[in-house]
Amino acid sequence: MSAEPSVARPHWIPHRASSVEVLLVFLRLGCTSFGGPIAHLGYFRKELVERRKWCSESTLAEIIAISQSLPGPASSQTGFALGILRAGCLGGLAAWVGFTLPSALLMMAFSYGHSFIGGRIGNGLLHGLQLAAVAIVAQAVLAMQKSLAPDRIRIALSVGATALALFLPPQVATIAPIVIGAAAGLLILRSGEETSSDLADLRMPKSIGAASAFAFLLLLLALPILARVFAAPWIDVLSAFYQTGALVFGGGHVVLPLLENAVVARGWVSQQSFLAGYGAAQVLPGPLFSFGAYLGASVRPTPSPILFGLLGLVGIFTPGMLAMAAVLPFWSAVRGNQFMRRAIKGINASVVGILVAALFHPLWTATILRASDFWIALLAFTLLTAWKIQPWLVVSSAALLSILVSLVQ
């Protein structure tokens, strides 16, 4: 009895997972990833590299390097690429939806005037979540250093990247260390062992990359023209948020001045509403770019806050996702070259340095404000690294301790 013929799947879609699995995993991350973009990368590493073995340390570092070099939200782009790697293009979309949905819904709700958590208990809880994020990022940096900068030369490259990331202007603070790390790797490192083949096995068609690049540029140029021709408020809002997402490098807090210019300067949102939404976005899990959902829903006048909130959300995220989809197929094609492998090793070492710099500023400088903060963060770090306690228990413990300290003080 002959077996039924199997339906061939495109060779660039992995056979390892479904987009539903990716959605559920990133939905959980979207509900629990506090602390901002760099902390998100720590959560990704803990969940997807260490626990689920979806990819290697070096593959994660490559994706981080790519996302740091593109316009858009770095942590969301990293999650998008990991979703593609796991379950194809639908997996990438599922990763973005899962990671973004919780914070987007909360920000939309906040735009309707819901009061946010406050008081000593509320402030202590939120501060405890931030302290846990410091420990999680520190653990990720330590683990990545052991894997990606294990020798003296690459440690030196990491230290140099840290200095550049801290002292250069924000516009080039991430791109410059990556470029210099690539050049240094090309000149002074040997290709040596093979890098992880995970990303190379993605094999996305170059046609997808070319179509994504074309869509990125077409929307960037066409949306402002359409907004002028049709004078439709919804097109104007979509265009403003798309241009903001397309022109910001570094993601996270770097987008705030552009957003303020896009919505406050035009009189769509008041300065007070803008700052209130920014404060809420700071303490919620998930990507800071979900702030776009709040601002879109807060635009006045508007016939539909929900529709405009969705336009703000989709508009600000789409450029970064298109940029990542445009680069991935070509990156996969060139990374197997021996010179590229040497450059990648230098880039990986620089990524470690960039994460060290981000751990110090803004995460450490904005979170460790008193001696009790230091001890709570140190305890959380010890529980994660020496005792191997589950992250959710560590986060809960840090939050509880922070609440107790807040009540005592």
The pLDDT assigned to 223 comes to: 94
Given a cut of 80, is residue 245 above it in pLDDT?
yes
The pLDDT assigned to 332 comes to: 67
For residue range 279-317, list pLDDT tens digits in order: 677 778 899 899 899 999 989 887 788 999 999 999 999
Residues 372-396 have a mean pLDDT of: 88
**Per DSSP, what are the bridge partners of residue 71?**
249
The domain ranges of the chain are 205-321
For residue range 308-347, list pLDDT tens digits in order: 999 999 999 999 999 999 988 887 667 767 787 788 788 8
Given a cut of 60, is residue 88 above it in pLDDT?
yes
Inter-residue contact 40 to 287 (CB < 8 Å) = yes
d(CA 199, CA 78): 13
pLDDT band at 11 (very low <50, low <70, confident <90, very high): very low
Residues 104-126 have a mean pLDDT of: 75
The pLDDT assigned to 203 comes to: 60
d(CA 173, CA 318): 24
The pLDDT assigned to 197 comes to: 52
Inter-residue contact 325 to 215 (CB < 8 Å) = no
For residue range 163-194, list pLDDT tens digits in order: 998 998 876 777 788 889 989 999 988 765 55
**Nearest CA among 93, 126, 100, 115 for reference residue 309:** 100
- Give the angle 141-386-57 at the CA atoms, nearest 5°: 35
pLDDT band at 202 (very low <50, low <70, confident <90, very high): low
Residue 28: which H helix or E strand, with range? helix 19-32
pLDDT band at 8 (very low <50, low <70, confident <90, very high): very low
Residues 247-259 have a mean pLDDT of: 65
Inter-residue contact 403 to 121 (CB < 8 Å) = yes
Q: Which residues contact 400 (CB under 8 A, 6 or more apart)?
A: 128
Global pTM? 0.75
pLDDT band at 115 (very low <50, low <70, confident <90, very high): very low
Given a cut of 80, is residue 122 above it in pLDDT?
no
